[in-house]
Amino acid sequence: MRDWKHGFLAITLVAGASFAGTANAQGTLRIGMTAADIPLTTGQTDQGGEGMRFIGYTLYDPLVSWDLLSADRPSELVPGLATEWSVNEDDQTVWTFKLREGVTFHDGSPFTAETAVWNFDKLLDESSEQYDPRQSAQGRSRIPTVESYRAIDEYTLEITTTEPDATLPYQLSWILMSSQANWEALDKDWERVAQEPSGTGPWQMETFVPRERAEMVPFKDYWDAERVPQLDSMILIPLPEPNARSAALLSGQVDWIEAPAPDTIPAMEGNGFVISSNTYPHNWTWHLSRLDGSPWNDINVRKAANLAIDREGMGALLGGLMVPAEGFLPPSSNWFGEPEFEVRYDPEAAKELLAEAGYGPDNRLAVKALISPSGSGQMLPLPMNEYVQQNLAAIGIDVEFSVVEWNQMINLWRAGAADPAVEGAESINFSYFVQDPFTGLIRHLSCDLIAPDGTNWGHYCDPEMQALFEEIQTTFDVEAQNEVLRRTHEKYVDDALFLMVAHDVAPRALSPRVEGYVQAQNWFQNFSSITMTD
Contact residues: another protein, CB under 8 A: 36-37, 40, 46, 133-134, 137-138, 140-141, 144, 190-191, 194, 209-213, 237-241, 243-244, 247-248, 250-253, 404-408, 410-411, 414, 443, 449, 452-455
Nearest to another protein of 44, 112 (CB atom) = 44
Distance CA 129, CA 193 (A): 15
The minimum distance between CB 490 and another protein, in angstroms, equals 26
Specify the DSSP class assigned to residue 297.
G
- Min separation Cβ 120 and another protein, Å: 16
The nearer residue to another protein, 44 or 200, going by C-beta atoms, is 44
User: Least distance (Å) from another protein to the CB of residue 260?
Assistant: 14
Cross-strand bridge partners of residue 94: 160
Which CB atom, from 72 or from 407, has the smaller least distance to another protein?
Answer: 407
- Could you give the CA distance from residue 41 to residue 20 in angstroms, rounded to a whole number? 27
Alpha-carbon distance 164 to 143, whole Å? 13
Between CA 326 and CA 336 the distance in angstroms is: 9
Residue closer to another protein, measured from CB, 349 or 382: 382
Beta pairing, strands 213-218 & 203-209:
antiparallel
What is the closest distance, in whole angstroms, from the C-beta atom of residue 306 to another protein in the complex?
26
Q: Which CB, 210 or 361, lies closer to another protein?
A: 210
Is 499:288 a contact under the CB 8 Å cutoff? yes
Of the two residues 351 and 444, which places its CB atom closer to another protein in the complex? 444
Q: From the CB of 378, what's the least distance to another protein, in Å?
A: 13
Calculate Rg over the CA atoms of the chain: 24
Shortest separation between residue 7's beta carbon and another protein, angstroms: 18
Q: How far is the CB of 295 from another protein (least distance, A)?
A: 27
CB under 8 Å, gap of 24 or more: what pairs does 449-456 form? 450/416, 451/413, 451/414, 451/415, 451/416, 451/417, 451/418, 451/419, 452/414, 452/415, 452/416, 452/419, 455/413, 455/414, 456/416
d(CA 93, CA 84): 17
Closest CB to another protein among residues 220, 287: 287
Residue 57 to residue 62: CA distance in whole angstroms: 8
Q: Which region, left, alpha or beta, applies to residue 187 given φ > 0 means left and ψ of -120 to 50 means alpha?
A: left
Task: Confirm if 134 and 43 have CB atoms less than 8 A apart.
Answer: no
Is 95 or 190 the residue whose CB approaches another protein more closely?
A: 190
Q: Report, in Å, the least distance between residue 240 CB and another protein.
A: 8
**3-state secondary structure string across 16-41:** HHHHHCCCCCCCEEEEEECCCCCCCC
H-type alpha helices, 21-165: 48-51, 57-59, 113-124, 133-139
Minimum distance from residue 166 beta carbon to another protein (Å): 20
Residue nearer to another protein on the CB measure, 2 or 479 = 2
Specify which residues 286 forms β-bridges with: 429, 499
Task: State how far the alpha carbon of 325 is from the alpha carbons of 30, 34, 316, 502, in Å.
Answer: 33, 24, 14, 5
Q: Which residues make beta-bridge pairs with 217?
A: 204
* Residue 53 near residue 193 (C-beta atoms within 8 A): no
Looking at the Cβ atoms of 326 and 436, the one nearer to another protein is 436
**Backbone φ/ψ region at 131: left (φ over 0), alpha (ψ -120 to 50), beta:** beta
Q: How far is the CB of 9 from another protein (least distance, A)?
A: 15
**Minimum distance of another protein from residue 256's CB (angstroms):** 14
Shortest spacing between CB 246 and another protein, in angstroms: 9
Closest CB 325 distance from another protein, rounded Å: 23
Instruction: Please say which residue, 286 or 457, places its beta carbon nearer to another protein.
Output: 457
The H or E element containing residue 95 is strand 94-99
In whole angstroms, how close is the CB of 141 to another protein at the nearest point?
3
Q: Looking at beta carbons only, is 240 or 331 nearer to another protein? A: 240
C-beta closer to another protein: residue 275 or 410: 410
Between 430 and 517, CB nearer to another protein: 430
Q: C-alpha angle with apex 496: 456 to 370, nearest 5 degrees?
A: 50
Report whether 43 contacts 199 (CB < 8 A): yes
Helix (H, G, I), strand (E, B) or coil at 270: helix
- Quote the distance between the C-alpha of residue 317 and its chain's center: 24
Q: Is 497 helix (H, G, I), strand (E, B) or coil?
A: coil
